[in-house]
Chain A
């Protein structure tokens, strides 16, 4: 018997269209054994479709899906040896927690004793072993989430698929479950593909993140690479909270000019319509006379460990991560300066990064 834990998964030029609408354009992914890959994108980006094609719930219009050594493109979902956690958890409301968890084994006609043992161990794994006789409607959101996880892991599939499993939880619980999920995945070492629209989840969970937009893969890399070295404007703006500041202007040589000021950037070229991107933590508030950009304070929000100051410079709004003891008055004139190495310039037309 070969171990099916930690299997490779391969997407080869998977495309999908519903009628004339193309939801996925030739997506190719290569996922290594035991990897935690997050598919990140806004709604309608095709991320869920990609997951459902992998599960076999949807058939690809073209391309191949390979799990391990097997081409499963035409294989029924039940033979793919994948399990899935749905956004709604898809717990069977008429079955107890124990019966829910044991369902995959019941389908396989595993003996009752063996089922019970496996159910108890899976439940212990997610710490719900005292809830086995309850019904899903008697559980809290977080507990339901755990039941869904236990049901997915009980038959130890080759691949875990997760479709926004945390999005129905409240913010506090979500953070907690995220940490647990990450720990469990590294314990089990099962290849996991995780779909989300939440960039924080993607950054914290993933070994690698694949960002999709309108069915096209934008960037596939580690969270750090994606944050520090975005490939285009879309990725740059999608990742990071608060999102990256953008200043509209033009690039001449190594100088970026906008209506509210000019700044030297680390790249060069001649583009009439360019966009300068800087993350809030790379901006500082300075006195207007020494600043590259001038504007007036629009709002001040105290977050806790820092203060977010939004500055209106020309038509652009620049958010600055300032110290928590920052004080100022709405409407007063102020300057913003950027850290030299952390500025990105994009072509406004194509969104491509200028390097």
Chain B
């Protein structure tokens, strides 16, 4: 028998070595353990502290904030609910009737949404307690646009994963050309926008049907997917001015619908990107089998595909919801009063004459971040199970 030629000699383990060498495979040495925990706890402190400070500030008042830092409630300072009262009770419109009305409006809006934009969404009453207004606004806008975004996005992602599309290169070119013509004629020749848009669209369909057949070069699913995902690169500031003007033109400024639409569009790339990967990972036999059994594409999607991607769907929904909840720059442009969302309300506390009312602002921030922290804990579970990793790898 031949013995191993290359051997790692195990010498006598000195005390120093015991400090730096792991005692067994899959274990850590004492020194590196110490260092790791030190860094991790330091970072944990760094992460917690700003949140902690915001939360305790929400229970302070003008004096306890302004007279130097106080750190620990009940020890350093006496916490009180003054700031909360300002938001929730002292508001003259903050009574059961107003809040009841608000809830009714919320339900009304959820129903009407289906038939909008024929009936535009009723804006929440401005004569209501501002905090409730912002909260319900944020809630309805966040939920509806998340629902829309996830359903449209996953439908598109599924189609891109399973059906072959071949858009003609020439048709896309025609579309861009006509879009530019429409914009030019509207802005410089003074033709009404609805007229030029209708003519532009009609021309496009006409040309695509006739001329389109002659084009040969096509794009593929991969190109469409890449195009959709790359929309995420687009800085919001580039589109926000035209979008503002567009909404102004059709009278949608400061409505829920406007924010819902723009949030849906802003998050579509993320949803398509994440969901596409989940759909690709599904075994195609399931769908083929259902197809042979006579199910239509819609019922396959609804009955087989969506239930199977439930973890991915849940994670994507949560992520979209959080992004919508936190969104600021679009809201700043589009919602001025009636459809004001929570972030706008936070920012509004900055504009007081007596300087920033930190304690009042912190109450709003706390109301904003509590649900998000809960969602983040759930979302984190999905991520740690590798649910969202696939998209990055692809």
For residue B17, CB closer than 8 A to chain A, the reply is no
Inter-chain CA distance A339–B162, complex, in Å, is: 57
Contact A78-B292, Cβ < 8 Å, known A90-B283, A90-B286: yes
| Count, chain A residues at interface, CB 8 A | 22
Question: Using an 8 Å CB-CB cutoff, how does the interface string of B268-298 with A read, 1 for contact, 0 for none?
Answer: 0000000000000001011011111111000
- Chain B residues with Cβ below 8 Å from A87 are 285
A303 on the interface (CB 8 Å rule)?
no
Q: Which has the most chain B C-beta neighbours within 10 Å: A56, A84, A90, A108?
A: A90
Instruction: Name A78's contact: one of B286, B293, B310 (CB within 8 Å).
Output: B293
Return the CB mask of A66-103 against B: 1 if under 8 Å, else 0: 00000000000110101110111010111000000001
User: In the complex, A274→B227 CA distance in Å?
Assistant: 61
In the bound complex, do residue B299 and residue A107 qualify as a contact, i.e. CB atoms below 8 Å apart? yes
Nearest Cβ on chain A to B376's Cβ, whole angstroms: 27
Among A77, A88, A93, A94, contact of B291 (Cβ-Cβ < 8 Å): A77
A-B contacts, CB under 8 A, total:
53
CB under 8 Å from chain B, chain A span 282-297? none
| Docked complex: A136-185 residues within 8 A CB-CB of B | 151, 155
Contact with A along B294-309 (1 / 0, CB 8 A): 1100010000100110
Contacts of A86 in B (CB 8 A): 285, 288-289
Query: In this complex, what residue of A is CB-closest to B300?
Result: A107
Segment 287-342 of B: residues with Cβ below 8 Å from A: 288-295, 299, 304, 307-308, 310
Partner of B288, one of A90, A108, A151, A155: A90
Beyond A90-B283, A92-B304, A94-B307, whether A84 also contacts B289 by CB under 8 A is yes
User: Which residue of B283, B290, B295, B304 contacts A88 across the interface (Cβ within 8 Å)?
Assistant: B283
Closest residue of B by beta carbon distance from A161: B292
Establish whether residues A103 and B292, one from each chain, have CB atoms under 8 Å apart when the complex forms.
no
Residue of B285, B286, B294, B307 near A104 (CB, 8 A) is B294
| A55 CB contacts on chain B under 8 angstroms | 288, 292
B101 to chain A, nearest CB (A): 42
Judge if A267 is at the interface, Cβ distance under 8 Å: no
CA distance A86 to B288 in the complex (A): 9
Tell me which residues across on chain B come within 8 A of A90, comparing CB atoms.
Answer: 283, 285-286, 288-289
A94 to B118 Cα, complex, angstroms: 39
Q: Which residues on B sit within 8 Å (CB–CB) of A302?
A: none
- How far, in whole Å, are A83 and B289 apart by their CA atoms in the complex? 8
**Also in contact, A88 and B293, with CB within 8 A (given A93-B308, A94-B307, A94-B308):** no
A57 at the B interface (CB under 8 A): yes
Further pairs besides A86-B288, A107-B290: 15, Cβ < 8 Å: A56-B292, A57-B291, A78-B294, A80-B292, A82-B292, A86-B285, A86-B289, A87-B285, A88-B283, A90-B283, A90-B285, A90-B288, A92-B290, A107-B299, A151-B293
A sample of 29 cross-chain residue pairs with beta-carbon separation below 8 angstroms, ordered by A number, consists of A56-B292, A57-B288, A57-B291, A57-B292, A77-B291, A78-B291, A78-B294, A78-B295, A83-B293, A84-B288, A84-B289, A86-B289, A87-B285, A88-B283, A88-B285, A90-B283, A90-B285, A90-B288, A92-B286, A92-B290, A92-B308, A94-B307, A103-B290, A103-B295, A104-B293, A107-B290, A107-B295, A108-B294, A151-B293
B-side interface residues toward A, CB under 8 Å? 283, 285-286, 288-295, 299, 304, 307-308, 310
- Which residue numbers of A lie inside 8 Å of B, CB to CB? 55-57, 77-78, 80, 82-84, 86-88, 90, 92-94, 103-104, 107-108, 151, 155
